[in-house]
Amino acid sequence: MRIGMALRATALALAAAIGLGLGSTAPAGAVGELDRYLDLPLVNRDASVAPGGVNAELPYDAAQLRALLDAARAQGIAPTRYAALLYQYWLVDATNQAGIDLRSWDPRAGVEANRVNLINSYRYYENLQLNHRELQWAGMGGQVGADFGGGLVDFELMGNIYALPGLSESARGVVAAVDQAAGPQAVAQLPRGLLALAEAGSQITPDDLRHLIGMILVMQKNIFSDLMPMHDAYVTGGLPALAEFQAAGLFDADVMQAWQDVASGDEGRIAAGNAALLRREQSWAIRDQWDATRNYKGSVGEAITYASGAAGSPSVAGVAPPRQFRPVRMPVTMADGRPGILTLPLPEWNWSDFDARWDYITSELLPKYKFQVENNWPALEAVMRTPYEIQMETHRPLFNVPQLLDSAARQLDVSPVDATAVR
């Protein structure tokens, strides 16, 4: 009884907050067709399943979805029974605001087919930050999206036109330089992704790249589809709107707490709440997809995910590129028998590995973006007001990977342990 009363109270609070008019009679047509939309599973919450929304049975018209929600609330139906309907409504509303056609949104169609969706989604993220200073996850997501989108454009061009020019040869050059400087034992300690790039780079086909690009675009849609309905509900109806998400089972108490922190007005809590949303993005929404991407055809996925991290140059001011964060650094025996340290300006970690990625995010991205919001807002705002097409086109790093690898081979350094300690 208490649970039912609580769910009813949640629906009433939501209606009051966003003006749904719960006290009025729901449209007769909506009442009549509501039953077919209750208890639907969220079969397409993971965008790898199919294009479109969360269930193919649901409509895409926002007014129709809203009328159906009015009917469900008016009848006192438990939110868990209309969870898919609720999710679809806010997803449709968010994509409409972003200028994305949800019905046709198909990540597997490739970058060129999704170019407008990429630009519009990240523009929407940045607009949320510009209009609501506390929505730091959205602002950081928009900033990083330029790197992400630019890299994807390069990947597709590599697959369709250039077939990964020089990647494998340059990676083999790095391995050869390490072998010459410190021998096969040092080579064995190199990152698996770098070795995979040397071994499998020449075998990666355009079809492989298209498959991997599709997987990465699935992740991009998964993040939008999970976080943007929440953001839209927050700016429209505040915490009561999000309480209905929780009552429907769409997220748990930890996520609700994150949103309460975001809405608190306290800088420390706002930062903690946004960090919790970022953790949900990186772990709940896309962790499995990154693992699957890295594991695709053995060394093929390992090579591509490593190359994407090695090439990255983040847009957020002050953030070190992944290749400078925990670079390759290993103990070796020098030619004269003395112990030494070999350093190489390439990442010793793979971006697709959650633990390593989260370490980078919490050490670099989160604190430095927070600093920008709190201490350098005019400069951050100026960047975000740049047309997003320009933001994305200025972050096209992957064609530089062969040169980056060649440069890394030239910058390889082996120093005696005692000399390193003095530095």
For residue 68, give the nearest of 94, 185, 57 by alpha carbon: 57
Q: Facing residues of 329 across strands? A: 343
d(Cα 366, Cα 307) in Å, to the nearest integer? 23
> pLDDT value at position 175?
96
Q: Six-digit token pair at 96?
A: 């409409």
Q: Facing residues of 333 across strands? A: 339
Range with the lowest mean pLDDT among 25-39, 174-188, 202-216? 25-39
In this predicted structure, the answer to whether residue 240 has a pLDDT above a threshold of 70 is yes
* Alpha-carbon radius of gyration of the chain: 24
Q: Facing residues of 330 across strands? A: 342
pLDDT band, very low/low/confident/very high, at 30 (cuts 50, 70, 90): low
DSSP 215-246: HHHHHHHHHHHHHHHHHHHHHHHHHHHHHHHH
For 122-161, how does the pLDDT look when each residue is reduced to its tens digit (9 = 90+)? 999 999 999 999 999 999 999 888 777 777 766 666 665 4
In this predicted structure, the answer to whether residue 227 has a pLDDT above a threshold of 50 is yes
For 280-309, how does the pLDDT look when each residue is reduced to its tens digit (9 = 90+)? 999 999 999 999 999 999 899 999 899 888
Report H helices in 248-298.
253-262, 267-279, 287-294
Q: Which residues contact 137 (CB under 8 A, 6 or more apart)?
A: 227, 274, 277, 278, 281
In this predicted structure, the answer to whether residue 215 has a pLDDT above a threshold of 50 is yes
For residue 414, give the nearest of 335, 327, 323, 310 by alpha carbon: 335
pLDDT band, very low/low/confident/very high, at 179 (cuts 50, 70, 90): very high
- Residue 397 in contact with residue 351, Cβ under 8 Å? no
d(Cα 321, Cα 309) in Å, to the nearest integer? 8
Cα angle 197, 172, 403 (rounded to 5 degrees) comes to 85
d(Cα 176, Cα 183) in Å, to the nearest integer? 9
What is the pLDDT of the chain when averaged over all its residues? 87
Query: Where along the chain do its domains lie?
Result: 2-101, 115-229+240-422
In this predicted structure, the answer to whether residue 265 has a pLDDT above a threshold of 50 is yes
* Overall size of the chain counted in residues: 423
